[in-house]
Structure 1
Amino acid sequence: MTDPDPGEHPRARERKPRRWRPQLRALHRDFGYLVVGLTFVYAVSGLAVNHIEDWDPNYTQFERTHELAAPLAEDEQEAARAVLDQLGIDEQPSDVFLYDQELEIQLEDRSLYVNGEAMTILDRGQDERRLLRLANWLHLNRGKKAWTVVADGYAVLLLFLATSGMLMLPGKKGMAGRGWVLVLAGVAIPVGYVLLSGGP
């Protein structure tokens, strides 16, 4: 048996305890970076749909008036095509109705009301809030299928971030100190609201 080196300090031969908190902090950091994009999607969409009674989070409504460039043709399809060409709309109407000097053109996201006597076109419709509508589509899981897996994975990562956040720091800066007070305060918010509102 080989004798230990007399110049070696006894503690150097002891196995150093594994420090798990630095590894936990590294995972918390990396997973936090990973979910930044999803967090923005869900947070912005959540703010939007929370106020759905006050506004349309997917579309903006518009109403515009244009001058009719030429008198209406007697044929409703010909009259409709002339109006659409004037406005630069390349879309097949779902319905066209001409009565005397009033022409109505129904399109997918708008309706045109033409007054041949006043020579005006009333354009009513909605414009898509493209990015916000996409965020809402993802948040409400309209896509189903594969997105359900992504949403479930995101939920699991949020649970990990919440749990690891409580365990990252030791001592007074962690759960042994002010941490538990803040955790209880956060838990008290939904519990208190349910109690005060009476719940579902």
Structure 2
Amino acid sequence: MKPTARSVHRDFAYFYLGLIIAFSFSGIFLNHRRDWHPRRYTYSATEITVPAITQPDSTVNDAYIETFTETQGIKDNLRRFVIDKNQLSISYEKHDVKIDLSTGKGKIEAYRTTPILGQMTQLHVDTSKWWIYYSDLFGIGMLVIAFTGMFIQKGENSFRSRGWKLALIGIIFPLIFLFLLS
């Protein structure tokens, strides 16, 4: 039996169904990560008080942060720290700390990865060699699904009759967001 556009389209869509669903959900979650980040949810928040600091630029340095980390019992890898208008922000891989240096009052928030959703979002950023190969095949599969989809319908609803107009709009929208609204 000779493969048709319909059978190729169907079989590629079936094969990639799980990945299409995972990428769809995780992509939506990543689009809204400022409101809710699926890779990190707060599971504890602890109010703290440290001695106030009047001259943070000369006092808060790597040694201060290291001592603070040990004193607070934070067993995590430091990513960075910054002082902005007497506000000290310390970012660890699984903790965030905010301290008002003029009062010494602050908060330590600890994070965990949201089960399942957090792992799905990892698919968008994974850089292992085998995942990249599989993702490349997925990209090729999506192209096959797109191109075979153009030839499934015949008649007045075919790609040649009206589908090209919708496809053109579908191409223009991302370009508008990319070049005019970003």
Corresponding residue number in structure 1 for 2:136? 152
Calculate the TM-score normalised by the size of structure 1: 0.56
Mapped pair 1:183 → 2:147: no
Q: Quick one: which amino acid aligns to residue 115 of structure 2?
A: R
Point out where structure 2 has 5 or more consecutive residues left out of the alignment.
47-68, 77-93, 97-106
What is the 5 A alignment of 1:100-119? 104-108=72-76
Find the partner of 2:112 among 106, 127, 136.
127
Find the residue that maps to 1:61 and give its secondary structure: strand
Preserved CA contact (<8 Å) 1:41 1:139: no
Residues 171/57 of structure 1: CA separation in 2 closer, same or farther (3 Å cut): same
Which whole-Å CA distance do the structure 1 matches of 2:155 and 2:44 have between them?
62
Q: Once the 2 structures are TM-superposed, how far is the Cα of residue 110 of structure 1 from its aligned partner?
A: 6.9
Counterpart of 2:112, as a letter, is D
Aligned to 2:61: none
Q: Which residue of 1 aligns with 2:147?
A: 163
Q: In the superposition, relative to structure 1, how do residues 147 and 195 fare at CA in structure 2: closer, same or farther (>3 Å)?
A: closer
Per the normalisation by structure 2, the TM-score is 0.61
State the match for 1:54 in structure 2: 35
Unaligned runs of 5+ in 1: 1-17, 66-94, 98-103, 112-121
Cα deviation, 1:128-169, whole Å, max 9, x if unaligned, reads 212122112112124x21000100000000001111111112
How far the C-alpha of 1:127 sits from its partner, in A, is 2.4
- How far residue 106 of structure 1 moved from its aligned partner, in angstroms, is 2.9
Whichever of the two has the greater Rg, that structure is 1
Which residue of structure 2 aligns with residue 27 of structure 1? 8
In 2, the alpha carbon distance for the partners of 1:150 and 1:141 equals 11
Alignment of 1:139 onto 2:120: no
Query: CA RMSD, aligned part only?
Result: 2.9
Q: How does 1:58-97 map to 2 (within 5 A)?
A: 58-63=39-44, 97=71
Secondary structure (helix, strand or coil) at the match of 2:36 reads coil
Could you tell me which amino acid in structure 1 is paired with residue 154 of structure 2? P
Q: Judging changes above 3 Å, is the alpha-carbon distance between structure 1 residues 196 and 123 closer, same or farther for their aligned structure 2 residues?
A: closer
- Structure 1 stretch 52-61 or stretch 26-35: which is displaced more? 52-61
Q: Give the secondary structure class of the aligned counterpart of 1:177.
A: helix
Superposition pairs for residues 35-46 of structure 1, below 5 Å? Answer: 35-46=16-27
SS at match of 2:123: helix
Secondary structure (helix, strand or coil) at the match of 1:126 reads: strand
